[in-house]
Amino acid sequence: MKGISVLLLALAVLFLPAVSSSENPVLWKGSVCSDIQYQKSIEAVAITNTTVYAACSYRQITNSSGVIGVYYLGTLYAYSLTGSKLWENASGYVVKLYPIDGDVLAGSLGGLILFDNSGRILSVADTMGKLYDFMVRDGVVYAADGDYFISGPNSSVEYKGHLYAIRLGKNLTFMWNVSIGDMLSRVRVGNGVIYASSGFPSGYSFSHQFGSLYAFSLDGKPLWNITIGHWVRDVEVWDGNALLGTGFDNSKGEIYLVSPNGKVLMNMSTFYVEDILVAGNTAYVSGYDGQNGTVMSIKLPSGKVLWEQRLPYRAKAMAYSNGLLLVGVGKFEQKIQNGTTYIYSVGSLYALDPESGKVVGSVPNTGYVRSIAVLGDRAVVGTASSEFYLIDINAIREKKATCGPGMVVLLVVLLGFLIRRL
């Protein structure tokens, strides 16, 4: 009878449902400019071997004597990898960060600001319009700015933009700039060609649709341009070609692959594009299809769709590291309390298998993810609030069940032994 009881116990253990072990991927969570009453967002983060950077940005709106003023403000914070605050300094509304040998270059809407490792401002390069994007190549910063102006009885819209080349060093030195009758918002450098696109970039919107792609030589000479017709939300470079995605009607978009001489190599219709990431001959595209956040993988240069994955809300930001595709999603919500409207965000961070698109893990309830930066097995994630996270990428991946194949084999052996004893 005792042998039968042991046998039944072994069988029960053998057929127990698998139990997954989990590990919290959040190493620590930080909060910045929590005393600011305006709606804020962490649009830019960065990480190095020693430092985590998070830029809190917000708009301050004033109404004085009937004149409405909008000020784009913000603060850049630096933390150690263990979460200790190192420094903070006023930065304006930061859209991008680029660490350089212990310093960090911040792209603010007002221009470029170079901070040293103690938070002291080393140099400033003001732009004539709102700076939306920059990139660094061979010691030169290429930056794009733009703005629009509404005037006249018919509320006609005029666009202006500039492309800059700025020598990088302890002093930021302007080399040249080019004026364009368009609102530039993205800039990338290919093989001897600078690509600059127009339209409202990811994270911004407007009522008028427009968009073009421009090409310049490395010394700023215009080469060609093509009219796209819709906002170019993001641009990346593949094999010297420009890969760009557009957005319109908050659900639709197109993807173009354009050669260095201005020939359209590929054009496909898709969802509203927010972000593009290129890895080898594969491009990952995230955005919104009108109902869901959407991520897809396409083969270059054909544009063949390898997989497509639906996620909640809007798929805003992506990063690739350690064999995982990180995708941040979210949306803004509002609630009314005591007659006051409060804006807040909801969202999560997902980890996808880049080969299949399958969701292999997540960090839920982070808030609307607006920015991601990775280094090795660490990621820093900024949200549409005061909060940001340092994540262990390895721990995001869902753990296998503790009752795996090895345990099953062990239980079968035990079962055979008990049967022989009966």
| Token reading at 371 | 């920015």
SS3 of 59-85: EEEEEECCEEEEEEEEEEEEEECCCCE
* E strands present in 300-339: 305-311, 314-321, 324-337
Give CA 213 to chain center in angstroms.
21
Is the confidence at residue 7, as pLDDT, over 60? Answer: no
Q: Residue 153 corresponds to which amino acid?
A: P
**Counting Cβ atoms within 10 Å, is residue 226 exposed (0-12), middle (13-18) or buried (19+)?**
middle
Q: Output the pLDDT for position 418.
A: 43
- Give the DSSP letter of residue 176: E
CB 305 within 8 A of CB 348: no
pLDDT, tens digit (0-9, with 9 covering 90-100), for 181-232:
999 999 999 999 999 999 988 777 777 899 999 999 999 999 999 999 999 9
Q: Residue 43 corresponds to which amino acid?
A: E
Q: Residue 403 corresponds to which amino acid?
A: C
**Pairing relationship of beta strands 305-311 and 184-189 according to DSSP bridges:** unpaired
Residue with the two structure tokens 């009878």: 1
| Cα gap 184→147, rounded to integer Å | 8
Average pLDDT value for the chain = 88
| Cα gap 61→280, rounded to integer Å | 44
**Counting Cβ atoms within 10 Å, is residue 181 exposed (0-12), middle (13-18) or buried (19+)?**
exposed
Model confidence pTM above 0.75:
yes
| Token reading at 198 | 């127009």
Give the highest mean pLDDT range of 35-39, 208-212, 302-306.
302-306
Is the confidence at residue 408, as pLDDT, over 50? Answer: no
Cis status of the peptide bond prior to 301, with omega within 30 of 0 = yes
Is the confidence at residue 29, as pLDDT, over 90? Answer: yes
Is the confidence at residue 343, as pLDDT, over 60? Answer: yes
Q: Output the pLDDT for position 203.
A: 73
pLDDT band at 142 (very low <50, low <70, confident <90, very high): very high
pLDDT band at 66 (very low <50, low <70, confident <90, very high): low
The CATH topology of domain 271-405 is Lipocalin (2.40.128)
Is the confidence at residue 38, as pLDDT, over 80? Answer: yes
Is the confidence at residue 165, as pLDDT, over 60? Answer: yes
- Give the DSSP letter of residue 201: P
| Cα gap 31→411, rounded to integer Å | 48
Is the confidence at residue 166, as pLDDT, over 80? Answer: yes
Cα-Cα-Cα-Cα dihedral of 27, 32, 128, 258, to 10°? 30
| Cα gap 80→86, rounded to integer Å | 7
Sign, Cα dihedral of 178, 183, 187, 190 = negative
Q: Output the pLDDT for position 70.
A: 75
Q: Output the pLDDT for position 11.
A: 42
